[in-house]
Structure formats: C-alpha cells, structure tokens
Amino acid sequence: MLNSINRDAFTLFNQGGNLIPYEYTGYKNEILASKSTAWFGTTLNSSPIYDVKGPDAAKFLTSICINSFLKMKPGSIRHAVLCNDQGFILTDGVVMMIAENHFRTYWLNPVVGYYVSVTEMDVEGVDLSGKEFFFQLAGPKSLEILEQASQSDLHDIAFTKHRMAKIAGIDVRILRLGMAGTLGYEIHGDTKNSEAVYDCIWEVAKTFDAKKLGQVGYTMNHTEAGFPNINMHYPLPWFETEGLKEYMAARPMEGFFNLNRALVGSVGDDLTTRFVTPYDVGWEYLIKFDHDFPGKAALEEIAKNPTRTMVTLEWNPDDLGEIFASQFRGQDVEPFETMDDRPMDMYYNSGFSMYYHADKVLADGREIGISSGRLNSYYYQRMISLAFIKPEYAVEGKELKVVWGTPGKPQKEIRVTVARSPYMNLENNKEIDVNEIPRYNK
C-alpha cells in the first residue's frame, strides 16, 4: 500500500505488503544530512504498535521481559527484550508509559500479543498498528526544526522521555530518541493526521537544508551505532519456539519477517548459529535476575561463561579490492560474489522472502562467531560490520578474518580488525546539552 507521505521517494520496496521508501535523494546525501543538518523519515510507519493496559500491566510486562517495568513512570521510555526458554531473543523494542497501568509498545508484537492471549493476569492488549503515524527527525538541527513546527519550546524533553505537543494545531507525542549518533526525536500521532503533520514539519525542515530519510540510511545507523536490528542483523525464533509457533501459524502475515527466511552468506543454512542471546549483542546489562521471565534459567547458565559478545569489525580495503577486481578476470574465472551492487548486506525488493546475511568469523583458522550487517559507511569511508564472537577475541586492534562467499561458490578470507564499538564517534544523543541550542521565540 502506497502512503501519500512517501510520494517523493526515488525508490520503494515491498515489506510484507507495505511499500517503504528505499531512498529519496540517495543514501549518501541522507547520511550526511543526519550529521550536519537533519534527516526526516517515515520508514518506521509500518511498525507493530501494541498497547498493554490494566491493573497488572507493569507486572505482566516484567513477567515476559528480561528487564523490569515495575518502577517505570508516565512520560518515560524503556528498551524491552523478550527471550524464549533457550535464552534466544524473540524480539526487542521500545516500551513507552502513557499513564498509570497503560503502556505502549513498539516492535514487541506479535510476541507480546501471544503472551496476552495466554496470561491469567488482568491486562488488555490493543493492536494499534496502522493507526498511529511514526516519524523520525534526527540531526543537530532537529530540535530547532521541531520547535518552529510546533511553535513551542521543547527543550524540556530529556533523552528517553516523551510528552504531548501540537504541530499544525494537531495533538502529537514527541519522544527524544534516535540512532543517528546525534540529537534525535520521534513524532507520533493519529494516522488520520499524518499528512498535515508531515507537511508542516517538512516545510520547516527544508529551510534548514534537511533531507528525507530512506530505509538504507536508517538501517546503516544501526551498524554504525553498534545497535543490532531485529529481522536485519539476525532472525528471530518465532517458529522454533513452542506455543508461539502455533500462535504465529494462525497469523502468517504477522510472521512475515521469520516465516519465509532466505539464509545467505558463508554461514550457509545454519539457522541456530544466527539466533542471538542478550549476551551475544551486548545487552546483558539489561537483564534483571530478580524476577521470573522466559529464558531466565538459560541466561543464568550463559552468565557463568558467555560464549559470544558483540564487536564492530573494520574490513581490510586491499582484500575488498580483490573482491571487486575478480569481476573483471574474464569468463573462464568465476568471480567472488559482488559487494558493489548494494551498499550493505541487507536485501530489499525481495517479495515475501526475508533475507538474512551472515558470514563466518575466523581466528587462526577456527570459527569463533559470525558477522552481519556489513555496510559501506559513506561518512567514515570504511567497510564495517557487527560481529558476535568469542569474548577472548573482542580486543580492539585484534586481526581476524571473515569468510566471504556462499558455500559452494568461490570464497575469500578477508582480513578484518576489531574496531571501536559503537563505531560512531559523534556526541551521543543522551549526552547532548540542548540548553546550548537556541530556544524558540514567538
């Protein structure tokens, strides 16, 4: 379905029946805008949105997540992670507390919907997907743009906080969040008002030389920020988890991301290796063992001796050059699989298949983990990826190798170096003092 607010997109791709903007002016322009002025995006408009309400709402969310929501206050935002009994991540996303006993979740459904369907706690679940618009505005000028659009002072919205405001005379909720390695906000509201709010913000954003954001630029941020993205950096075991798999079988469209997987890269058909735990992705700090939740016993065992942790890998440019040069050695020599036809190992316009790319990581010829989310970072002029590897090799400056190429085709070992993580070296959103930014004056 084509959303009118995406009308200026240069290309669109099909994501489970929704047309998502792939690029507007090109990912290079869009990436640079997030660092110098701002970008404005709609790529998360198709987000699963699900409300949990009722006297037991906080208790319920705590019972299914690795972290706790019992002391959360209205106006706050928290990262939520759900695991299965093996400790593998089922999903992660954002929980926003709207009011007492009322939480709004993003990207936790359909898993949270399954748990609502089987709980005996006093909670109600409401699916709001498609009923709320979800815009992103990030960059050093994002606050000034929002204040001009809302004609109000928004300096009081701290990182991971939210409150109501008005844009174009319409009620919206503004959140201070973002993955661009700079100041960032989200704007949420009733879908029926999406075009009016969007146009109001964009008219202001244009005067700051902002750019519209496509999916390529958005996804690149996750690798640069050291924040792996569900359904992109790794698959989720929805159809490998008892109870949930039966629930998903009755809702195939909701299971799109993990229903028809295509596994590519040198890891091959090994699916289990691609599943991750909170320890694998560096989120062990979120785990609170003071309450029961699915996967607690498995994670307690992993905590004694974690087998993987997350790092950023920087790929050797000379080895990358050999991949490119192999395309021109004549018809008698089968080339290595190309990298230059896409800026990153994430596949779009793929119909109703979801592609997952993962490559083996080696140390002294032994496999020590996997790499995913490879991208050509235009801003940093480096090829980088995230990797989930044995902790003893997670040492900055350590040289490892990544195996490039699908099994059965020519493969090449590419030298990589463990780099800083997150790779972004810009001032983090949560550390930015907005008091140094001019306030809106009527």
Give the dihedral sign, CA 287/292/295/301. positive
Phi-psi region of 130 (alpha: psi -120 to 50; beta: other; left: phi over 0): left
Q: Find, among 167, 165, 192, 191, the residue nearest to 176 by Cα.
A: 165
Residue owning tokens 């996967």: 295
Digitized pLDDT (tens) for each residue of the chain, 442 residues in all: 456 677 777 676 666 566 777 777 888 888 888 889 999 988 888 889 999 999 999 999 999 999 999 999 999 999 999 999 999 999 999 999 999 999 999 999 999 999 999 999 999 999 999 899 999 999 999 999 999 999 999 999 999 999 999 999 999 999 999 766 689 999 999 999 999 999 999 999 999 999 998 877 787 888 998 899 998 899 999 999 999 999 999 998 888 889 889 899 999 999 999 999 999 999 999 999 999 999 999 999 999 999 999 999 999 999 999 999 998 988 888 999 988 766 777 665 455 568 899 999 999 999 999 999 999 998 999 999 999 999 999 999 999 999 999 999 999 999 999 999 999 888 888 889 999 999 998 7
Backbone phi, then psi, for 349, in 5-degree steps? 50, 40
CB 373 within 8 A of CB 280: no
Residue owning tokens 């070992």: 413
Rounded-to-integer distance, Cα 156 and Cα 18, Å = 35
Rounded-to-integer distance, Cα 196 and Cα 199, Å = 5
Distance of CA 256 to the CA centre of its chain: 16
Q: How far is CA 413 from CA 206, 253, 309, 345, 361, in A?
A: 45, 38, 22, 17, 9
CB atoms within 10 A of CB 28: 15
Q: How far is CA 9 from CA 41, 123, 211, 378, in A?
A: 11, 40, 11, 20
Using DSSP bridges, classify how beta strands 261-264 and 354-357 pair: parallel, antiparallel or unpaired: parallel
Q: What is the pLDDT of residue 330?
A: 87
CB 30 within 8 A of CB 23: yes
Q: What is the pLDDT of residue 7?
A: 74
Q: What is the pLDDT of residue 1?
A: 47
Rounded-to-integer distance, Cα 244 and Cα 229, Å = 21
Q: What is the pLDDT of residue 341?
A: 64
CB 313 within 8 A of CB 417: yes
Rounded-to-integer distance, Cα 109 and Cα 47, Å = 9
Peptide bond into 237 cis (omega under 30): no
End-to-end CA distance of the chain: 39
Using DSSP bridges, classify how beta strands 211-213 and 184-190 pair: parallel, antiparallel or unpaired: unpaired
Q: How far is CA 289 from CA 67, 169, 274, 300, in A?
A: 8, 46, 25, 8
pTM of the model: 0.93
Using DSSP bridges, classify how beta strands 89-99 and 49-53 pair: parallel, antiparallel or unpaired: unpaired
Rounded-to-integer distance, Cα 214 and Cα 41, Å = 7
* Partner residues linked to 21 by β-bridges: 12
